[in-house]
Amino acid sequence: MEFIYDFSKILLATCKDVLPIIILIVSFQLLVLRQSIPHLRRLIVGGVYVVIGLALFLAGLEKALFPLGNIMATQLSDPAFIYGPGEVVTQADWKAYGWVYLFAAMIGFATTIAEPSLIAVAFKANEVSAGTIKQWGLRITVAVGVAFGISLGTFRIITGTPLYMYILAGYMIVIVQTLFAPKNIIALAYDSGGVTTSTVTVPLVAALGLGLSATVPGRNPALDGFGLIAFASLFPIIAVMGYAQLMQWSTQRKIKNMEKKNAI
């Protein structure tokens, strides 16, 4: 019974999310474009699927994954677990947090694979590129970027180094990569930074950040707890462009080798 109550609350919230979009599209169709929408029935059924699917997805996450993720984040960052019970810690030792880095990387990777917005963008990219960009290839590359980003982000919280230094350095890398990356991947790479952080990743990652900054000695959740999401949206850009560069480089080498063979 309680579940039905929870679910209808989430369903209502999702409907509220969709409402402005529906109003916008309907009023544009009626007032500006003044034409009937093709395949209207199919669109409506699809829209209902999206809303119900998203609500079920969120309800399931809230029931199962978020509580679990929160418990695990607290347990892993608990000083008693990291330094051994009874130890008094005044200075954080970044080398003691190995499991936290691993957890951050793995949970970042795993949640990115399940992220619905990324599934959507990968689907579109695959369609538009006529299959040359593989859905799983893009998703795994982005997930690797998020994994690295979040892991580095937890390192930053533990060491207490300033956020903007990392972000500025990341921007520098992105700018340099942009100059050398294949032109047709650039827009997609920039986009993949924005899509990684929505329904699944944000709540879990935010919990990890706030949990860590509350338990690591000398950190203030208000100042140090933020910023993990910024890491998670910066590093996928680097990962996607890097992967594209690598692929380009290896094909060029292959072509050169072929040419050499042909010349002989």
Looking only at residues 92 through 131 of this chain, which bind other proteins when binding is defined by CB under 8 A?
A: 99, 103, 106-107, 109-111, 113-114, 116-117, 119-121, 123-125, 128-129
CB 196 within 8 A of CB 208: no
Shortest distance (Å) from residue 259 CB to other proteins: 27
Shortest distance (Å) from residue 258 CB to other proteins: 26
Look at residue 212 and give its three-state secondary structure: helix
Q: Report 150-179 residues binding other proteins (CB under 8 A).
A: 163-164, 167-168, 171, 174-175, 178
Q: Report 200-259 residues binding other proteins (CB under 8 A).
A: 202, 222-230, 232-233
Whole-Å CA distances, 213 to 73, 101, 144, 189, 244: 11, 14, 24, 30, 35
The half-sphere exposure of 58 on its side-chain side, counting CA atoms within 13 A, is 20
Find the part of the chain contacting other proteins (CB under 8 A) among 14-22, 89-97, 250-258: 14-22
Q: Could you say which of 75, 161, 250, 251 contacts other proteins (CB under 8 A)?
A: 75
Nearer residue to other proteins within complex by CB, 92 or 122: 122
Q: How many residues bind other proteins (CB under 8 A)?
A: 102
Nearer residue to other proteins within complex by CB, 84 or 259: 84
C-alpha span between 32 and 38 (Å, rounded): 16
CB 154 within 8 A of CB 256: no
Return the closest-CA partner of residue 188 out of 109, 116, 126, 108: 126
Look at residue 37 and give its three-state secondary structure: coil
**Which two tokens mark 130?**
């006529």
Return the closest-CA partner of residue 81 out of 89, 24, 19: 89
Q: Which DSSP helix (H) or strand (E) runs through 19? A: helix 2-27
Nearer residue to other proteins within complex by CB, 71 or 258: 71
Return the closest-CA partner of residue 16 out of 55, 65, 45: 55
Shortest distance (Å) from residue 94 CB to other proteins: 18
Shortest distance (Å) from residue 49 CB to other proteins: 3
Shortest distance (Å) from residue 261 CB to other proteins: 32
Q: Could you say which of 101, 155, 190, 248 contacts other proteins (CB under 8 A)?
A: 190
Find the part of the chain contacting other proteins (CB under 8 A) among 15-23, 86-94, 243-251, 255-263: 15-23
Q: Report 24-43 residues binding other proteins (CB under 8 A).
A: 24-25, 28, 32-33, 35, 37-39, 42-43
